[in-house]
């Protein structure tokens, strides 16, 4: 059974394996899938029969043993009975011999009735079975009278009446005393006796009657008769001679019942069996000799033993039965029933097992179906995302387009900043939409990181600008600081880096109501060294609890690593040799510190789980899905870093992550994408600035931004100090005679600008301001420093007061960004305003016009309207446009040599789609490039590169924004894509790629150099 | 005064087209492309669109008569229709086209027929509105156009 069960398990395992290999429902199940209960019933019945057979087998042996016992007992009894009987018969024989010897051979007879009676009485112990013996003489009818006379009586019949006349008689002459009533009774008058006598004298042997009721008792008995002959007979003698020689008959009555009773009584186990003795001389009508006529005892076992009482004519048999039924064989019964029970249990096990397996299989099937459905849902989700992002993109493009138009108009610096911010936000939103698409990729592990050079600082400025409006609105300080030791350009994935930062800062902004958010980027090695030396603690240290926290905003932060004491090490002068300069990798530690609500201790473990927020009320209060941090974690890990955080509820959180970028080669700086690398104006290089700020961390941030603009920064922590410095200078150099000479000296020492933090200014209002304004007339207005206020937010009375105090009209609003600071300073200094305009215009339609004018561009689209619109748009920027309405026409036009500078290609076209056309064009080009130079190269204005290779820039026009489409574009050899319908910004971005090495001012060179394909 | 009144009228006609969602910013871009070199650019494009779309509608009608529907073909036609519509900035028509394509993907015959009716309706409405608009609008007046553009920007900003 064990083997059987193992077999089952094995089969199950196999079938499961097959399923796991993806064979759907094709496995052959070795288990009945339904009607298990029927199989169980069948099992029970079948093994019921088996059990019964087992029982019978064992029981048969048992019965055999019982039978054997019966046989031996029966045979024993039969033999004993037979022996006893024989003994008695022999005695009767001996009596017969006695009678013949002493009655007939002696003359006169020596035996009379008395002698016989005495002798028989005294020898009766020899014949316990015989109730009595008697001798009857043969008397012929002729001799009757003589005989009656001699014996003084008449011959009587059995009915004790005088005998009628017969041929012969057999009257009893000698009788044992027990049967003396037989005297002179004619034995031949009784039916059985007569028959006996006739048979006895014919055979000369002892004969027996059939059983009958003996006279004088109720017992059944038989009569034994011996013939007595007158003379000794020779061994061979005929029956007739025998009859002639017969003198008389000796008879005895056997009381068979008592005989058997007596005999059985002597034996053990007498009580167990029922014995019957039958006379079966006539087989059809057995006469019972002993035992009751009714059947009794156990009928199942019967033993018949033949009895030989010495009379060949009479046949007797002994039948033995057990009195009680043989007891059931317990061994057989228990064996069979226990076996059956075991089999039943096994059957039940199989049954439940089968049900379980079937259930598991069904569940498995259900799971698979659900899995298929889930996968389908996942696909649907991706499609949904693609559709939705497309739908969002379209209006966003509208917004961006409008903003671009707005930026082309005359704007004040604030307006321009707002518009630029809006545009940046819009771009970020579109980026985010793409990121949502990428989330699927992250989950599938298919995300690949770019490795392009980018400017870390401008990315951070961008991120900051996204949140500047919000932080201003909330009144929180938002600041970014990148350590000087971090290289300007690094190689990595700017998009992903930006995504992580955006997410962390976005979270901080969301959860912070007061205080500050501070983003820092340091070299990982430096900060680690500091962390070690600082014995950093997460608890509140005693000293800090009392004093004001020396953080950015003066509020306590979760991680005290950013407080000034440690901070100054990080941003301090180059006390570390720049040892990482030669290393390939740049390990950066980025921290985003906020003073928000913090993360509850219990939720801290769940922070990086997708869709987990601290509790459900969080999403109600603050919105969001909680997916951002999990994406950030994935991204950081992809970039080879780790992310962690320190958070104290109600105090704030600080998120850290490390990231490993490659050091960028200096030469690749020029290849930076325009969008990733924003040139800061260098008009301010060498300008001296004094920053007045009582908070050292904040001052460091200000200094960082100003230093990026190339300014020389000095920090003082109060206005008084600034004034005292100036005052001394003014005192020293106010003598008119030395004025000119000293002027130059002063230029070196006196700041050109004085940036004053609003808080510091307000706290010093009473003392500082008055004196500051007092001094103004003394100084030379043209040369005295411009005073600019730095503020997170400012009310109009404050603004008025600031103006009155002598600050310039422009207030630099935080968060600080280098470009924004530059814009403000430009406005204040009124220098380089035109240059700035030019720079901004370059990004707009002017730039496009400069790039596209005079170019010959092929537009391929099967849709007339689209074609016309695209052509119109390109014409507007001065390009010469030719159109093709199908891929084939385009191919014909693009047959080398041709004079097109670029091609805009629709993707979805009948007959031949854009991919196919591009592939063919590229094939033609590569064929042509392999051929030796021919006269085709002399053609003016062709898409011939300087290196002598054909490469026509082909841009896909598509309404799809799915990345897959973009990938396919790349694969088929396209250089980029623009979304359809045309939008100035995207067109600019796409075109800029090809012509950006061609600055707009170099218009004279353009016709020759603009044919540069992509590097 | 009269000119002012007319300007106002044109303005309101135009604004209503945007506000009611018949047109989107693409139309503005089209107008942007119109200059002295191309004084009737918008009208030209719109005319082109109508001749094109009328042909496409006829094609689609023929395709819809054949049963069972050839969804691939329908999708193809509708893609072209949608492309044209989005090029001129016919927002409502384009939206209906998108829905039609969804139905095609789902192989929903009744949906296709129902939505096509709507496509035709929107198409006809827009045609009527644009015709009126072009009748009143002296589109060759550059000055006028600039004014219009300003107003549109304000609208879009709203």
Residue A455 has pLDDT above 70, yes or no: yes
Cα–Cα separations (whole angstroms), residue A865 to A852, A873, B40: 22, 12, 15
Res. A900 pLDDT band, cuts 50 70 90: confident
Compute the nearest-CA separation of B38 from chain A (Å).
Answer: 9
Query: In this predicted model, what pLDDT tens digit does every residue of B95-111 receive, in sequence order?
Result: 888 888 888 888 888 88
Interface membership of A878 toward B (CB under 8 Å): no
Q: Which of B41, B52, B153 sits opposite A864 (nearest CB)?
A: B52
> How many contacts does A have with B, using Cβ atoms within 8 A?
75
Compute the nearest-CA separation of B84 from chain A (Å).
Answer: 5
Residue A813 has pLDDT above 60, yes or no: yes
Strands A585-594 and A643-648, how do they pair? unpaired
State which residue of chain A sits closest to B102, comparing Cα positions: A387
Res. A937 pLDDT band, cuts 50 70 90: very low
Contacts of B101 in chain A (CB under 8 A): none
Query: In this predicted model, what pLDDT tens digit does every residue of A456-514 receive, in sequence order?
Result: 888 888 888 888 888 888 888 888 888 888 888 888 888 888 888 888 888 888 888 88
Interface membership of B11 toward A (CB under 8 Å): no
Interface membership of A908 toward B (CB under 8 Å): yes
pLDDT of residue A558: 66
Contacts of A401 in chain B (CB under 8 A): 25, 29
Provide mean pLDDT across the span A783-799.
74
State chain A's mean pLDDT as an integer. 73
- Choose the mutation target among B21, B33, B157 for the interface with A, i.e. most A CBs under 10 Å: B33
Q: Do residues A316 and A307 make contact, with C-beta atoms less than 8 angstroms apart?
A: yes
Interface membership of B150 toward A (CB under 8 Å): no
Using the beta-carbon criterion (under 8 Å), do B33 and A873 form an inter-chain contact?
yes
Highest mean pLDDT (candidates A581-590, A724-733, A892-901): A892-901
Q: Which of B26, B38, B80 sits opposite A863 (nearest CB)?
A: B80
Residue B75 has pLDDT above 70, yes or no: yes
pLDDT of residue A223: 83
Residue A363 has pLDDT above 90, yes or no: yes
Instruction: State how far the Cα of A377 lies from the Cα of A375, in Å rounded to an integer.
Output: 5
Query: In this predicted model, what pLDDT tens digit does every residue of A951-1008 receive, in sequence order?
Result: 888 888 876 655 556 777 777 888 777 776 666 666 766 776 666 544 333 333 333 3
Q: Which residues pair with A317 in a beta bridge?
A: A278, A306
Interface membership of A376 toward B (CB under 8 Å): no
| Greater pLDDT, A676 or A502 | A502
| Greater pLDDT, A390 or A500 | A500
Provide mean pLDDT across the span A188-197.
81
Q: Do residues A757 and A695 make contact, with C-beta atoms less than 8 angstroms apart?
A: yes
Using the beta-carbon criterion (under 8 Å), do A864 and B89 form an inter-chain contact?
no
Query: In this predicted model, what pLDDT tens digit does every residue of B14-51 receive, in sequence order?
Result: 777 788 878 887 788 777 777 766 777 788 888 888 88
Compute the nearest-CA separation of B48 from chain A (Å).
Answer: 6
Residue A678 has pLDDT above 60, yes or no: no
| Greater pLDDT, A348 or A129 | A348
pLDDT of residue A619: 53
Res. A561 pLDDT band, cuts 50 70 90: low
Q: Which of B38, B83, B153 sits opposite A405 (nearest CB)?
A: B153
Residue A95 has pLDDT above 50, yes or no: yes
pLDDT of residue A993: 66
Stretch 842-861 of chain A: residues touching chain B, C-beta under 8 Å: 861
pLDDT of residue B156: 36
Q: Do residues A860 and A854 make contact, with C-beta atoms less than 8 angstroms apart?
A: no
Instruction: State how far the Cα of A465 lies from the Cα of A461, in Å rounded to an integer.
Output: 6
Q: Which of A866, A876, A982 sits opposite B84 (nearest CB)?
A: A866
pLDDT of residue A569: 55
Q: Which of A405, A872, A983 sits opposite B38 (nearest CB)?
A: A872
- The backbone torsions φ and ψ at residue A897, rounded to the nearest 5 degrees and listed phi first, read -85, 150
Query: What is the per-residue burial (b if ≥16 Cβ within 10 Å, else e) of A630-668?
Result: bbbbbbbebbebebebbbbbebbbbbbbbbebebbeeee
Interface membership of B43 toward A (CB under 8 Å): no
Stretch 972-1001 of chain A: residues touching chain B, C-beta under 8 Å: 980-984
State which residue of chain A sits closest to B86, comparing Cα positions: A981
Query: What is the per-residue burial (b if ≥16 Cβ within 10 Å, else e) of A837-855?
Result: eeebebbbbebbebbbeeb
Instruction: State how far the Cα of A1013 lies from the Cα of A1002, in Å rounded to an integer.
Output: 17
Comparing A24-28, A236-240, A835-839, the range with the smallest average pLDDT is A835-839
> Comparing C-alpha atoms, which of A866, A857, A872, A908 is closest to residue A887?
A908
Query: In this predicted model, what pLDDT tens digit does every residue of A311-351 receive, in sequence order?
Result: 778 888 888 888 777 777 788 889 889 999 999 999 999 89
pLDDT of residue A217: 67
Neighbours of A750 (CB within 10 A): 20
Provide mean pLDDT across the span A937-956.
59
| Greater pLDDT, A618 or A640 | A640
Instruction: State how far the Cα of A764 lies from the Cα of A526, in Å rounded to an integer.
Output: 36
| Greater pLDDT, A519 or A210 | A519
pLDDT of residue B28: 80
pLDDT of residue A567: 59
Cα–Cα separations (whole angstroms), residue B151 to B13, B126, B141: 12, 21, 16
Interface membership of A204 toward B (CB under 8 Å): no
State which residue of chain A sits closest to B83, comparing Cα positions: A866
Stretch 129-188 of chain A: residues touching chain B, C-beta under 8 Å: none
| Greater pLDDT, A543 or A660 | A660
Instruction: State how far the Cα of A196 lies from the Cα of A186, in Å rounded to an integer.
Output: 13
| Greater pLDDT, A368 or A774 | A368
Residue A215 has pLDDT above 80, yes or no: no
Residue A17 has pLDDT above 50, yes or no: no
Is A293 exposed, middle or buried, given 0-12, 13-18 or 19+ CB atoms closer than 10 A? exposed
Contacts of B27 in chain A (CB under 8 A): none
pLDDT of residue A441: 62
Residue A367 has pLDDT above 90, yes or no: yes
pLDDT of residue A871: 81
Using the beta-carbon criterion (under 8 Å), do B49 and A865 form an inter-chain contact?
yes
Neighbours of B88 (CB within 10 A): 30
pLDDT of residue A682: 65
Cα–Cα separations (whole angstroms), residue A622 to A613, A615, A617, A619, A653: 10, 11, 8, 5, 16
Query: In this predicted model, what pLDDT tens digit does every residue of A217-257 receive, in sequence order?
Result: 677 778 888 888 887 777 777 888 888 888 888 888 877 77
Residue A308 has pLDDT above 50, yes or no: yes
The per-residue DSSP string of A466-499 comes to HHHHHHHHHT-EEEEEE-TTS-SEEEE-HHHHHH
Residue B154 has pLDDT above 50, yes or no: no
Compute the nearest-CA separation of B111 from chain A (Å).
Answer: 20
Using the beta-carbon criterion (under 8 Å), do B33 and A876 form an inter-chain contact?
yes
State which residue of chain A sits closest to B46, comparing Cα positions: A865
pLDDT of residue A450: 80
Contacts of A980 in chain B (CB under 8 A): 83, 86-87
Res. A430 pLDDT band, cuts 50 70 90: confident
pLDDT of residue A835: 43
Using the beta-carbon criterion (under 8 Å), do A865 and B83 form an inter-chain contact?
yes
pLDDT of residue A447: 67
Instruction: State how far the Cα of A512 lies from the Cα of A651, in Å rounded to an integer.
Output: 10
Interface membership of B80 toward A (CB under 8 Å): yes
Query: In this predicted model, what pLDDT tens digit does every residue of A270-299 receive, in sequence order?
Result: 667 788 888 888 778 877 877 766 666 677
Interface membership of A698 toward B (CB under 8 Å): no
Residue A21 has pLDDT above 50, yes or no: no
pLDDT of residue A369: 94
Using the beta-carbon criterion (under 8 Å), do B86 and A876 form an inter-chain contact?
no
pLDDT of residue A373: 93
- Three-state DSSP class for residue A958: strand
State which residue of chain A sits closest to B158, comparing Cα positions: A399
Q: Which of B24, B32, B44 sits opposite A398 (nearest CB)?
A: B24
Tokens 């592990």 found at? A445
| Greater pLDDT, A82 or A394 | A82
Tokens of A234: 């020779």
- Choose the mutation target among A395, A865, A978 for the interface with B, i.e. most B CBs under 10 Å: A865
Contacts of B86 in chain A (CB under 8 A): 959, 980-981
Provide mean pLDDT across the span A877-899.
82
- The backbone torsions φ and ψ at residue B2, rounded to the nearest 5 degrees and listed phi first, read -65, -40
Cα–Cα separations (whole angstroms), residue A802 to A330, A754, A775, B44: 117, 13, 16, 58
Using the beta-carbon criterion (under 8 Å), do B157 and A865 form an inter-chain contact?
no
Instruction: State how far the Cα of B150 lies from the Cα of B158, in Å rounded to an integer.
Output: 13
pLDDT of residue A981: 64
Cα–Cα separations (whole angstroms), residue A715 to A746, A754, A779, A813: 18, 10, 21, 19
Res. A764 pLDDT band, cuts 50 70 90: low
| Greater pLDDT, A549 or A805 | A805
Interface membership of B48 toward A (CB under 8 Å): yes
Using the beta-carbon criterion (under 8 Å), do A981 and B84 form an inter-chain contact?
no
Contacts of B35 in chain A (CB under 8 A): 876
Provide mean pLDDT across the span A883-910.
82
Highest mean pLDDT (candidates A192-196, A350-354, A767-771): A350-354
Comparing A349-353, A552-556, A731-735, A986-990, the range with the smallest average pLDDT is A731-735
Residue A852 has pLDDT above 90, yes or no: no
Using the beta-carbon criterion (under 8 Å), do A872 and B30 form an inter-chain contact?
yes
Res. A46 pLDDT band, cuts 50 70 90: very high
Q: What percent of chain A has pLDDT over 70?
A: 70
Q: Catalogue the E-assigned strands of A619-710.
A: 643-648, 652-663, 688-692
State which residue of chain B sits closest to A873, comparing Cα positions: B33
Residue A624 has pLDDT above 70, yes or no: no
Q: What percent of chain A has pLDDT over 90?
A: 3
Q: Which of A864, A872, A981 sits opposite B86 (nearest CB)?
A: A981
């Amino acid at each position: 059974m064990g083997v059987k069960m193992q077999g089952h398990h094995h089969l199950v395992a196999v079938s499961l394996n097959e399923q796991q290999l993806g064979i759907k429902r094709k496995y052959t199940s070795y288990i009945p899938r339904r009607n298990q209960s029927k199989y169980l019933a069948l099992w029970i019945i079948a093994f019921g029969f088996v059990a019964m057979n087992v029982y019978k087998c064992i029981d048969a042996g048992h019965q055999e043993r019982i039978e054997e016992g019966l046989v031996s007992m029966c045979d024993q009894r039969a033999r004993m009975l037979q022996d006893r009987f024989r003994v008695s018969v022999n005695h009767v024989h001996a009596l017969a011999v006695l009678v013949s010897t002493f009655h007939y051979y002696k003359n006169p007879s020596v035996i009379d009735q008395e002698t016989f009676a005495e002798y028989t009485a005294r020898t009766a112990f020899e014949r316990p079975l015989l109730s009595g013996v008697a001798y009857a003489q043969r008397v012929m009818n002729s001799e009757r009278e003589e005989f009656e006379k001699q014996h003084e009586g008449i011959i009587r019949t059995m009915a004790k009446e005088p005998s009628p006349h017969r041929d012969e008689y057999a009257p009893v002459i000698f009788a044992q005393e027990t049967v003396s009533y037989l005297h002179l009774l004619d034995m031949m008058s009784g039916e059985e006796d007569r028959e006996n006598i006739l048979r006895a004298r014919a055979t000369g042997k002892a004969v027996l009657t059939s059983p009958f009721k003996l006279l004088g008792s109720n017992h059944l008995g038989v009569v034994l008769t011996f013939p007595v002959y007158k003379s000794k007979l020779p061994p061979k003698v005929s029956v007739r001679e025998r009859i002639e020689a017969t003198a008389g008959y000796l008879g005895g009555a056997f009381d068979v019942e008592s005989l058997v009773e007596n005999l059985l009584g002597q034996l053990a186990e007498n009580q167990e069996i029922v014995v019957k003795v039958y006379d079966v001389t006539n087989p059809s009508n057995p006469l019972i000799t002993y035992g009751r006529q009714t059947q009794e005892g156990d009928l199942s076992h019967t033993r018949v033993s033949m009895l030989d009482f010495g009379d060949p004519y009479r046949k007797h048999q002994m039948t033995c039965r057990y009195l009680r039924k043989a007891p059931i064989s317990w061994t057989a019964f228990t064996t069979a029933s226990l076996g059956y029970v075991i089999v039943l249990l096994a059957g039940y096990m199989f049954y439940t097992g089968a049900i379980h397996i079937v259930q598991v299989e069904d569940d498995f099937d259900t799971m698979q179906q659900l899995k298929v459905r889930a996968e389908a849902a996942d696909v649907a989700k991706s499609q949904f995302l693609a559709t939705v992002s497309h739908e969002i993109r379209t209006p966003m493009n509208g917004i961006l387009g409008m903003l671009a138009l707005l930026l082309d108009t005359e704007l004040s610096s604030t307006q321009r900043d707002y518009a630029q911010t809006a545009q940046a936000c819009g771009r970020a939103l579109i980026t985010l939409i793409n990121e949502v698409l990428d989330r699927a990729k992250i989950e599938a592990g298919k995300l690949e990181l770019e490795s392009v050079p980018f400017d870390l600082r401008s990315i951070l400025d961008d991120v900051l600008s996204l949140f500047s409006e919000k932080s201003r609105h909330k009144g929180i300080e938002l600041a970014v600081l990148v350590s000087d030791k971090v290289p300007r350009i690094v190689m990595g994935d700017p998009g992903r880096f930006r995504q992580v930062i955006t997410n962390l800062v976005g979270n901080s902004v969301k959860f912070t109501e007061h205080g500050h958010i501070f983003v820092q980027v340091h070299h990982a090695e430096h900060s680690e060294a500091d962390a070690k030396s600082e014995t950093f603690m997460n608890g509140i240290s005693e000293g800090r609890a009392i004093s004001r926290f020396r953080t950015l905003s003066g509020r306590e932060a979760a991680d005290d690593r950013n407080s000034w004491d440690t901070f100054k090490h990080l941003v301090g002068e180059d006390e570390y040799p720049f040892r990482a300069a030669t290393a390939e990798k740049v390990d950066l530690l980025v921290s985003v510190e906020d003073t928000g609500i913090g993360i509850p201790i219990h939720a801290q473990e769940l922070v990086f789980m997708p869709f987990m927020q601290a509790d459900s009320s969080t999403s109600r209060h603050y919105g969001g899905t909680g997916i951002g941090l999990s994406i950030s974690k994935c991204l950081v890990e992809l970039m080879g870093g780790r992310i962690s955080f320190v958070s104290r509820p109600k105090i704030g959180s600080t998120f850290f992550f490390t990231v490993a970028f490659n050091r960028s080669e200096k030469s690749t700086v020029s290849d930076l994408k325009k969008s990733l690398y924003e040139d800061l104006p260098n008009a301010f290089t060498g300008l001296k600035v004094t920053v007045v700020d009582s908070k050292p961390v904040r001052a460091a941030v200000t200094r960082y931004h100003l230093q990026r603009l190339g300014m020389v920064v000095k920090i003082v922590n109060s206005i008084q100090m600034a004034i005292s410095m100036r005052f001394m200078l003014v005192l020293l150099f106010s003598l008119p005679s030395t004025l000119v000479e000293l002027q130059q000296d002063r230029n070196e020492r006196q700041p050109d600008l004085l940036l004053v933090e609003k808080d510091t200014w307000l706290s010093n209002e009473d003392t500082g301001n008055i004196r500051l304004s007092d001094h103004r007339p003394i100084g030379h207005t043209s040369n005295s420093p411009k005073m600019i206020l730095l503020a997170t937010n400012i009310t109009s009375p404050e603004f008025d007061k600031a103006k009155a105090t002598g600050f310039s009209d422009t207030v630099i609003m935080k968060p600080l960004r280098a470009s924004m600071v530059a814009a403000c300073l430009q406005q204040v200094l009124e220098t380089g305003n035109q240059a700035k305009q030019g720079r901004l215009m370059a990004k707009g339609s002017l730039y496009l016009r400069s790039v596209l004018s005079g170019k010959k561009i092929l537009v391929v689209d099967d849709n007339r309207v689209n074609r016309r619109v695209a052509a119109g748009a390109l014409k507007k920027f001065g390009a010469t446009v030719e159109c093709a309405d199908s891929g084939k026409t385009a191919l014909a036009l693009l047959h080398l040599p041709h004079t097109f500078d670029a091609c805009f290609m629709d993707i979805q076209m009948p007959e031949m789609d854009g991919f196919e056309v591009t592939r063919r064009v590229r094939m033609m080009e590569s064929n042509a490039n392999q051929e030796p130079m021919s006269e085709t190269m002399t053609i003016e204005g062709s898409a011939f590169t300087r290196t002598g290779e054909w490469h026509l820039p082909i841009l896909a026009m598509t309404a799809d924004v799915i990345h897959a489409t973009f990938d396919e574009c790349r694969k088929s050899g396209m250089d980029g894509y623009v979304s359809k319908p045309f939008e100035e910004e995207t067109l600019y971005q796409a075109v800029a790629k090809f012509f950006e090495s061609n600055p707009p001012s170099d218009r004279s060179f353009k016709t020759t150099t603009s044919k540069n394909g992509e590097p | 005064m009269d000119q002012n009144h007319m300007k106002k009228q044109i303005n309101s006609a135009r604004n209503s087209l945007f506000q009611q969602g018949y047109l989107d910013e693409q139309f503005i871009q089209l107008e942007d492309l119109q200059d002295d070199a191309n004084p009737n650019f918008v009208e030209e494009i719109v005319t082109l669109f109508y001749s094109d779309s009328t042909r496409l509608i006829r094609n689609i009608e023929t395709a819809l008569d054949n049963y069972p529907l050839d969804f691939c073909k329908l999708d193809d036609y509708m893609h072209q229709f949608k492309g044209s519509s989005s090029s001129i900035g016919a927002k409502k028509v384009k939206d209906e086209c998108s829905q039609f394509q969804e139905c095609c993907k789902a192989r929903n015959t009744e949906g296709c027929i129902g939505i096509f009716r709507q496509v035709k309706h929107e198409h006809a409405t827009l045609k009527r509105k644009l015709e009126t608009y072009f009748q009143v609008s002296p589109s060759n007046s550059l000055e006028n156009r600039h004014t219009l553009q300003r107003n549109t920007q304000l609208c879009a900003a709203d």
